[in-house]
Structure 1
Amino acid sequence: MPKTKADKLQATRNDLGANVREASVGVLNATLADAMDLTNGVRMAHWTVRGPHFAALHALFETFYDQLGEATDDLAERVVQLGGAPDGTTQRIGEKSRLAPYPAGLRDGMEHVKALADRYAALAATVRAGIGSTDEAGDADTADLLTGLSRTLDKALWMLEAHLG
């Protein structure tokens, strides 16, 4: 696929080589799409959850999308720091997300928990792969950023799984 103007790295004084920055921008933009897709799924759960655990889940889901909002901001800003352009439009997220589509008709709290647990686990796995890729490429800072995200995802997954027994 030919490179577009948006795909080219911008000049920066960052001392990482262009190949390293290009590799990291690719990992970061893929992770950004997945994290934004997960954020939207969590928001759907927050807005539509019903059932005996409504209050606790409604509040938990709000905490989760706040965490994801901070994480997506960090991912996008790291892309820019490396001379890239964040690929976070709604249209691109729909095209690029590697997560399974969030079921639109869910209402039951535990069904939301199961759906979110699956997606948190999937994102955690790709984030861990991204840690390895960016570390191997020579970008310890991006690997560190992804490591922090991995910890956040694992903690949320643990909380979701605790609701499932």
Structure 2
Amino acid sequence: MAVELKGLTDNARKTAISELNGRLADSIALALAVKQAHWNVKGRNFIAVHELLDMLHANLQGHVDTMAERVQQLDGIAIGTAQKVAADSGLPEYPTDLTKAEDHIRALSERYRDHGEKLRAAIDATDEAGDADTADILTAASRTVDKDLWFLESHLE
């Protein structure tokens, strides 16, 4: 039985489900890219970068669950299989030949910037459609992504 959320139009619900699933695919893809970097990073400040990447992954995972659960609240289907994420993510594929910490940080920073931009567009779309709660969830994710981007790029100074 579906949860009936009063005050949301069918358009608001459909828009939110679509935006959430898009950002879910990007978040999962980004989390996997962070793990790729975590497993393969080498170089100066290894332990600091290695531990930073653990934190970034945990931050993404928290938002992944929140987004997927919101899709369920809206009576949608959260899409997160590896095959669908690979097909649906709008983020560039992460290179698998990187080992230097600075190369990983640059590659991740590029994807974090892209992800942040897409989150902000999704915030606007869901807010304009009339789902302030989903916009709030996406805003929280956006704040975290912006902060984590700052942490990453601070290693390049």
Q: In structure 2, how many angstroms separate the alpha carbons of the residues matched to 1:133 and 1:68?
A: 21
Structure-2-length-normalised TM-score:
0.97
Q: In structure 2, how many angstroms separate the alpha carbons of the residues matched to 1:13 and 1:25?
A: 15
Q: In structure 1, how many angstroms separate the alpha carbons of the residues matched to 2:129 and 2:36?
A: 36
Deviations 1:111-149 (A, max 9, x none): 000000000000000000000000000000000001111
The aligned residue for residue 89 of structure 1 is 81
Q: In structure 1, how many angstroms separate the alpha carbons of the residues matched to 2:153 and 2:60?
A: 18
Give 1:161 shift. 1.0
The aligned residue for residue 47 of structure 2 is 55
1:12 aligns with 2:17: no
List gaps (5 residues or longer) in structure 2: none
Q: In structure 1, how many angstroms separate the alpha carbons of the residues matched to 2:13 and 2:137?
A: 14
Identity of aligned residues (%): 44
The aligned residue for residue 63 of structure 2 is 71
The RMSD of aligned alpha carbons is: 0.9
Q: Which runs of 4+ in 1 moved over 2 A?
A: none
User: Of the candidates 103, 113, 123, which is equivalent to residue 131 of structure 1?
Assistant: 123
Give 1:18 shift. 1.5
List gaps (5 residues or longer) in structure 1: 1-9
Q: Secondary structure at the match of 1:65?
A: helix
User: Of the candidates 107, 126, 130, which is equivalent to residue 115 of structure 1?
Assistant: 107
